[in-house]
C-alpha cells in the first residue's frame, strides 16, 4: 500500500496529527472485509440495507388455514345428517378427512424441516454474493478515487475531508458509504 507522504494540515483544527490520506481512510473502512462492509452498509442505510419486511410466503388475500363461517357444531350436525342418510359414504368421507389432515401435517413438517431451511440457505448465499459484488465494486471505485484525487485527505479528529492545502471541508457524515467516482467528483468540486 503506497500512501502519499507529507504532513497535510487540517483547515478545521490546524493540526496534522490526525490527518490521513484518502487511501488510509478507505483501508480503514475495508479492514473487516466483506462481512464488515455488509454490516456497515446495513447500519448506514446504504443500497442493500432495505431488507423489505414483506412476507412473500403469505401474500395479502391468501387464505389461512382457519375455518370461517362454519362452527364445529354445524360440522357435527352435518356429519350426523350424512351418517343417517348414507352411512357408508359418511364413514369413508370421515376417514378421508382424517387421512387428509394427517397428510397435511406430514407435508407441513417436511416443508418446515427441509424446504424452508434450504430456501433460507439459498437466500443467504445470494445475499453474500451480492455483498461480495458490492464490496468489489466499492474497492474499484475507491482505487479510482485515490488515483484521481491523491490530494484528498481526512481528519479523524474533526471527522472532515479536505484537499491538501485547501481551506474548505466537508463532514464525513455527508459522504455516502459506497462513494462512487461521480460522487467523489462532486465532493472535490465542493472543496475547490
What is the per-residue pLDDT across 22-42, written as a single tens digit (0 to 9) for each? 899 888 888 877 777 777 667
Confidence band, pLDDT 50/70/90 cuts, at residue 188: very high
Q: Answer whether residue 142 shows pLDDT above 70.
A: yes
Q: Is residue 2 part of a domain?
A: no
Parent domain of 187? 19-47+70-191
The verdict on residue 62 lying in a domain is no
Calculate the alpha carbon distances from 133 to 105, 140, 143, 148 in Å. 41, 11, 15, 23
Considering Cα of 71, then 73, then 78, then 82, what sign does the dihedral take?
positive
Q: Taking the complete model, does pTM exceed 0.85, yes or no?
A: no
Confidence grade of residue 168 (pLDDT, cut at 50, 70, 90): very high
Domain count, the chain: 1
pLDDT at 163 over 90: yes
Residue 6 lies in a domain: no
Q: Is residue 1 included in any domain, yes or no?
A: no
Pairing of strands 169-171, 152-155: unpaired
Number of residues written out for the chain: 192
Name the residue among 115, 186, 95, 113 with its Cα closest to residue 145.
186
Burial of 8 (0-12, 13-18, 19+ CB in 10 A): buried
Q: Is residue 35 part of a domain?
A: yes
Q: Are 46 and 177 in contact (CB under 8 A)?
A: yes
Amino acid at each position: 500500500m503506497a500512501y502519499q507522504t507529507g504532513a497535510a494540515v487540517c483547515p478545521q483544527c490546524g493540526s496534522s496529527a490526525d490527518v490521513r490520506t484518502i487511501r488510509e481512510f478507505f483501508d480503514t473502512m475495508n479492514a473487516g472485509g466483506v462481512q464488515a462492509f455488509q454490516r456497515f452498509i446495513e447500519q448506514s442505510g446504504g443500497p442493500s440495507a432495505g431488507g423489505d419486511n414483506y412476507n412473500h410466503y403469505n401474500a395479502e388475500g391468501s387464505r389461512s388455514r382457519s375455518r370461517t363461517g362454519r362452527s364445529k357444531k354445524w360440522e357435527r350436525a352435518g356429519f350426523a345428517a350424512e351418517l343417517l342418510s348414507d352411512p357408508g359414504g359418511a364413514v369413508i368421507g370421515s376417514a378421508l378427512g382424517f387421512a387428509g389432515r394427517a397428510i397435511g401435517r406430514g407435508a407441513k413438517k417436511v416443508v418446515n424441516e427441509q424446504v424452508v431451511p434450504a430456501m433460507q440457505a439459498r437466500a443467504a448465499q445470494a445475499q453474500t454474493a451480492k455483498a461480495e459484488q458490492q464490496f468489489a465494486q466499492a474497492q474499484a471505485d475507491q482505487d479510482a478515487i485515490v488515483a484521481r484525487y491523491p490530494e484528498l485527505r481526512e481528519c479523524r479528529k474533526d471527522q472532515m475531508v479536505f484537499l491538501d492545502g485547501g481551506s474548505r471541508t466537508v463532514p464525513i457524515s455527508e459522504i455516502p458509504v459506497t462513494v462512487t467516482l461521480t460522487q467523489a467528483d462532486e465532493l472535490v468540486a465542493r472543496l475547490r
